[in-house]
Amino acid sequence: MSYEGDYSPHLMPDFTAATGIPVDVQSLPTTASHEKLLTAHAGSALPDVLMLFNGWIREFAMIGAVAPVPTPALTAGIFPGIRDALRIGGVEYAVPWSVAPQVQYYRRDIVRDAGYDTPPLDWEGWLQMARAIKRRRPDDYVFLMLLNWPTALLTMMTQAGATMLRDRATRGNFRSEPVRHAFAFYAQLFAEGLAPRALSTEVQDPVAAFAQGYFAIWPSSPTTLLDLRRREAEIPATRWGTARLAGPTGPGPVSGDSASLCVASSCDRPQAAWALVRHMTSRASELKFQRMIGNLPARLDAWDSPQLAQPVLAAFREQMAQPAPIPPAVEWERIQSEVQLAAERVVRGIQTIDAALAALDDRVDRLLAQRRALVDAGKLA
């Protein structure tokens, strides 16, 4: 999946040298990986070790695709906040690996021209700054928030204090004040022309667009560090910086694409598989990976390393201690995409916020119908 997949092969030579076990790494496109892995499980064709985004672990555990972690030693020394969030019914199914909270990448020069040293961290201030930038650069945008990518909006909702599912996560809770607040703020950014109404299929090269000043604020994950380093010729390191994402009154919990490593329950050599997981989540591997793709180590002791003291990582470091909670429904991945579709309809002026949220609750209630029945029957905790 994305850079994790592309760069994992770099972690393998050491492992193969130490154990004699050859590893074949396969990388799936991020937007297709959930369906490919689910289908692979249904067809009994999962790889031995797989990376799952943290939001998927509950689902894959329920369908019996991934095996429980055999020994607590594997997760010892992981940030407690991250580890505890992934425990399902008291059982661990995954070893947290690559932590990727979103922060805002900003163009120092553009922000400075608008009269700011760093972007404000509260929504009102953020908006004022964005308007100031837009006044100076009317043909460009300020934010890049892709319309088929739910992370930015989910973060806003969490920060506004929303609890998205209610009744033991068996019903949607989207007609609530915090959600409405977040939706309104999100939609406003598009309505004022501060963010382009674009899908990921349309923005051919976001790094180039960032370099050209097509937008100035880019909520994104640590892997963007790698992109920016690679393209230093186009956008020198002095021209951009990182800061925590703005919240209603200041920074708060943030959604991200943090990922963990799991072993398939169909794996016929679990010892080797867990050994690989241990290797990939070791301090040395985590630091090596951080150097290569930017994602942060989930292991506490890795943070002693001077490598992680770079100023550009400070925002991530603060942010990773505050992950957004993941609602305990296996349908969550799907619900997220429904939330984003509702937001897209609002942004494009097809529906009002109230109509979209009512439709969203209705839709989510239907999606959760089976879960509701199972919870009511006591078959599901």
Partner 1 sequence: MTRETRAAWGFTAPVLTIIVAVFVLPTLLAMAMAFTDYSIYALADPRNLHFTGVNNFTTLFATPLFWRAIGNTLLFALLGVPMAIGASLFAALLLNDATVRWKPLWRVVLFAPFVTSVVATAVVWRFLFNTRFGLINQALGAVGLPGIDWLGDPNTSIPAILIFVTWKIFGYNMVVFTAALAAVPQDLMEAARLDGAGRWTRFRHVTLPAIGPTLVLAGVMSVAGFLQIFAEPYVMTLGGPAQSTTTILYFMFDEGFKWWNLGQASAVALVLFLMILAVTLLQTRIARRNEWL
Partner 2 sequence: MKHRRAIITNTLVVALGLLTIAPLAYMVIVSFMPRGESGTLPIPLWPSRWSLENYHELLVRRQIDGAWFDYRILPALKNSIGVAALSTLFGLLLTVPAGYALAKLRFRGRERVVQLLIAALVVPGQVAMLPLFLIFRQLGLVNSYAGVILPGLAGIFGVLFVRQAMLAIPDELIDAARMDGAGEGRIFVSIVLPLLTPIVITLALFLFLGSWNDFLWPLIVLADQHRYTLPVAVAAIAREHAADGELMMAASVVTTMPVLLLFLALQRFYLTGLLGGGVKG
Task: Compute CA distances 11 → 33, 286, 304, whole Å.
Answer: 21, 9, 21
Binding mask 171-210 for partner 1 (x = CB under 8 A): --------------------------xxxxxx-x------
64 touching partner 1, by CB under 8 A:
yes
Question: Which one, 198 or 296, has the nearer CB to partner 1?
Answer: 198
Burial class (CB in 10 A: 0-12, 13-18, 19+), 379: exposed
- 22 token code pair: 């050859």
| Measured distance between the N- and C-terminal CA atoms of the chain, rounded to whole angstroms | 31
Shortest spacing between CB 358 and partner 1, in angstroms: 11
Burial readout 332-365 (b: 16 or more C-beta within 10 A, e: otherwise): bbbbbebbbbbbbbbbeeebebeebbbbbbebbe
Please, which residues bridge with residue 247 across strands?
122
Task: Compute CA distances 309 → 40, 313, 315, whole Å.
Answer: 40, 7, 11
Which of 21, 36, 128, 314 contacts partner 2 by CB under 8 A? 36
Which of 114, 129, 324, 330 contacts partner 1 by CB under 8 A? 330
- 270 token code pair: 């679990």
291 touching partner 1, by CB under 8 A:
no
Q: Quick check: 58 and 88 in contact, CB under 8 A?
A: yes
Q: Which does 325 bind (CB under 5 to 8 A by kind): partner 1, partner 2, none?
A: none
226 touching partner 2, by CB under 8 A:
no
Question: Which one, 204 or 238, has the nearer CB to partner 2?
Answer: 204
Which of 101, 172, 206, 247 contacts partner 2 by CB under 8 A? 206
The enclosing H or E element of 58 equals helix 57-62
> Coil, strand or helix: which one is 330?
coil
147 touching partner 1, by CB under 8 A:
yes
Q: Which does 45 bind (CB under 5 to 8 A by kind): partner 1, partner 2, none?
A: partner 2
Q: 238 Cβ partners below 8 Å, 6+ apart? A: 108
Shortest spacing between CB 25 and partner 2, in angstroms: 8
Which of 15, 18, 20, 31 contacts partner 2 by CB under 8 A? 31
> What amino acid occupies position 227?
D
Which of 230, 300, 370, 376 contacts partner 1 by CB under 8 A? 370
Residues that bind partner 1 (CB under 8 A): 31, 34-35, 38-39, 41-42, 59, 62-64, 147-148, 197-202, 204, 330, 334, 341, 344-345, 348, 350, 359, 362-363, 366, 369-371, 374
